[in-house]
Amino acid sequence: MEQNLQKLFKASLYQPEGRLSGDVWVAIESKSAQITKWKTFGYLGLSVLSLSGSIFSIKSLIEQAIRLGFFDYLSLTFSDSGSLATYWKEYTLSLADSLPVASFVLSFFLLFILFISIRNTSQQFKSKLLIA
């Protein structure tokens, strides 16, 4: 009975349109192109945002570093190496103290986001070219 029923089911199969699998593949490719397009726009937007954020945060980092005397301490490295060797502990602490940590972390973070978004944007462009 089992084999007979199998035969009956097989005999009553419908034949899909010849190009159905082709149509399915076209639908997948078009979905893929759509996803790539949205991802490209997303990463491009993120690149622009992180670039403008980086510019502001680096500008603020430099201003704060000047105000806290970070560059003055840094210039000592090149001008008075004798004293540095003697008071290196104090020097290191002063240098670290004059560093605007929050701005530094923010700038670093934004630059990292910028790098990732540029890399992903270029990947999306590459896959777009492959699809085309």
Q: Does 12 bind another protein (CB under 8 A)?
A: yes
- CA separation for the pair 57, 65 (Å, rounded): 12
Task: Please answer whether residues 92 and 7 qualify as being in contact, where contact means their C-beta atoms are separated by less than 8 angstroms.
Answer: no
Q: Does 129 bind another protein (CB under 8 A)?
A: no
Q: How many residues bind another protein (CB under 8 A)?
A: 25
Place of tokens 């240098």: 95
- The number of beta carbons lying within 10 Å of the beta carbon of residue 89 is 8
Q: Does 45 bind another protein (CB under 8 A)?
A: no
Place of tokens 């759509």: 34
Query: Footprint of another protein on residues 69-88 (CB under 8 A)?
Result: none
In the complex with another protein, the residue whose CB is nearer, 21 or 92, is 21
Please choose, out of 13-21, 44-52, 60-68, 104-112, the segment that lies near another protein by the rule CB under 8 A.
13-21
The angle that helices 70-79 and 20-67 make with each other, rounded to 10 degrees, is 80
Task: Please answer whether residues 47 and 121 qualify as being in contact, where contact means their C-beta atoms are separated by less than 8 angstroms.
Answer: yes
Q: Does 16 bind another protein (CB under 8 A)?
A: yes
Q: Does 122 bind another protein (CB under 8 A)?
A: no
Residues in the site for another protein, rule: CB under 8 A?
1-2, 4-6, 8-17, 20-21, 23-25, 27-28, 31-32, 130
